A and B are shown apart, each in its own frame.
Chain A
Amino acid sequence: NAGVTQTPKFRILKIGQSMTLQCTQDMNHNYMYWYRQDPGMGLKLIYYSVGAGITDKGEVPNGYNVSRSTTEDFPLRLELAAPSQTSVYFCASSYPWRGRNSPLHFGNGTRLTVT
């Protein structure tokens, strides 16, 4: 049982380049999330999805796009990378969790640097 898997672990982009951060989970969770963590800051929600075919904006969606064609996968797309997108990105998943342990299962993060 792999849990939440993110790839790549590290990436360096030039300004204006595009890339997709991959996220997959094997727990059959309905809910999936993308967070970013800037240095010295907490996690801020970029986008989330409550099921296949459904996505919605979080707190900081500008500059990003997502899709959810399957329950397992929730890729995050950066179209025109900017230095402000230098951050650590976390994917997470959950099921309707009320009463269970942790509401979110996190991947190990992707460190992205835009120069």
Chain B
Amino acid sequence: AQTVTQSQPEMSVQEAETVTLSCTYDTSENNYYLFWYKQPPSRQMILVIRQEAYKQQNATENRFSVNFQKAAKSFSLKISDSQLGDTAMYFCAFIPGEGNEKLTFGTGTRLTIIP
């Protein structure tokens, strides 16, 4: 079974600064996918960024980037030039590369951007 751990229940950062959210996972799979989802107060679940384990290059989506360390089973999210709209819960999630379609989520990090 896979597990996903987010060790930072809450974080806050000043607007325009950079913040990094941590995620570690445990799996025996060699091929898998990792995701960061954002959940604003509206409760929507919004995909922020994804990473395929077979790709060595870290994924980037505008101000969002990841630091994927496969050997260490680490998948951190960096938000640059943070904005007030980035205030939300952030969930790290894992899905194996083959077989079942079930996402496993971490417990989340509540991020607050301070004006």
Contact = CB atoms under 8 A, between A and B. Distances in A.
Contact of A109 (B43, B91, B101): B43
B45 A103 contact: no
A61 interface: no
A101 B108 contact: no
B102 A58 contact: yes
Given A58-B102, A101-B50, A90 B107 contact: no
Nearest to A110: B43
Contacts, number: 50
Contact of B42 (A43, A94, A108): A108
B28 interface: no
Contacts of A104: 45, 103
B47 interface: yes
B39 to A, nearest CB: 9
Interface string B76-115: 0000000000000001000101000111011110000000
B108 A94 contact: no
Nearest to B92: A42
Contacts of A27: none
B101 A103 contact: yes
B113 to A, nearest CB: 20
Given A96-B101, A103-B103, 17 more contacts: A40-B107, A42-B106, A42-B107, A43-B103, A43-B105, A45-B103, A58-B102, A88-B43, A94-B101, A98-B97, A101-B47, A102-B47, A103-B35, A103-B95, A104-B103, A108-B44, A109-B43
